[in-house]
């Protein structure tokens, strides 16, 4: 049988220790958070880059996300010259055209202006679309014309330092710098 007196003494002692512990508190102090100082110190040792986006997690930016289009020497320079002339901000308000773009994976069709890039149009709808540099220098925001038709028939890039002509012909585009020139269906998060 259980000794009632022993049980009462045990419970009383346990309760006393608990009360004393909480009344006295703990002398252990919480250490200062030095994470910000460590990051600043590490960042000061790495040279600056042109990648200010928050999703670029590398110290100093540029964490190896990009690829350069292959091909014969001079090909990339030619494509840069072609793309260098397009600035969506130069489109006059009375010349803005709207196109129906079906975002296949998101299951919706929206109207996108030819002076708005596809990534921002999707973000305006509240969709969490992939991106990193927002400058046409990586493949994080890659998308593809559904069916693999030539992307040059549907979009114009304001900057494209990553995709080659053969990849564009297979329907690939960079949604961060791609502006529609026709209505089409877009598969987001697709890279060559």
Query: For the segment 163-177, what is each residue's pLDDT rounded down to a tens digit?
Result: 889 999 999 999 999
Higher model confidence: residue 27 or residue 69? 27
Task: Give me the phi and psi of 184, to 5 degrees please.
Answer: -165, 175
Residue 82 has pLDDT above 50, yes or no: no
Alpha-carbon distance of 132 to 138, in angstroms, equals 7
How many angstroms separate the first and last alpha carbons of the chain? Answer: 77
- Six token digits for residue 173: 């585009």
pLDDT band at 88 (very low <50, low <70, confident <90, very high): confident
Q: Write the CATH number of the domain with boundaries 98-188.
A: 3.10.20.30
Supply the mean pLDDT for the chain. Answer: 79
- Residue 86: which of 64, 114, 66, 58 has the closest Cα? 114
Alpha-carbon distance of 124 to 153, in angstroms, equals 24
- Six token digits for residue 83: 């793309």
Indicate the burial class of 84 (C-beta count within 10 angstroms; 0-12, 13-18, 19 or more): exposed
Average pLDDT (78-82) is: 44
- Percent of the chain surpassing pLDDT 70: 76
pLDDT band at 90 (very low <50, low <70, confident <90, very high): confident
Decide if 147 contacts 85 (C-beta within 8 A): no
pLDDT at res. 170: 92
User: Quick one: DSSP state of residue 93?
Assistant: G
């Amino acid at each position: 049988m259980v000794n009632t007196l022993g049980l009462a003494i045990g419970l009383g002692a346990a309760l006393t220790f608990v009360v004393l512990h909480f009344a006295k508190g703990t002398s252990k102090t919480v250490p200062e958070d030095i994470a910000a100082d460590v990051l600043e110190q590490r960042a000061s040792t790495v040279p600056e880059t042109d990648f200010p986006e928050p999703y670029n997690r590398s110290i100093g930016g540029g964490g190896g996300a990009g690829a350069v289009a292959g091909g014969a020497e001079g090909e990339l320079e030619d494509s840069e010259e072609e793309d260098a002339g397009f600035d969506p901000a130069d489109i006059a308000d009375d010349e803005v055209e709207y196109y129906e773009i079906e975002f296949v994976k998101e299951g919706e069709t929206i109207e996108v202006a030819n002076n708005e890039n596809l990534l921002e149009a999707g973000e305006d709808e509240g969709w969490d679309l992939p991106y990193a540099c927002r400058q046409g220098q990586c493949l994080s925001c890659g998308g593809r014309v559904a069916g693999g038709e030539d992307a040059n028939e549907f979009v114009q890039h304001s900057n494209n330092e990553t995709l080659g002509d053969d990849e564009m012909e297979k329907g690939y585009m960079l949604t961060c710098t791609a502006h529609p020139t026709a209505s089409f269906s877009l598969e987001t998060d697709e890279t060559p």
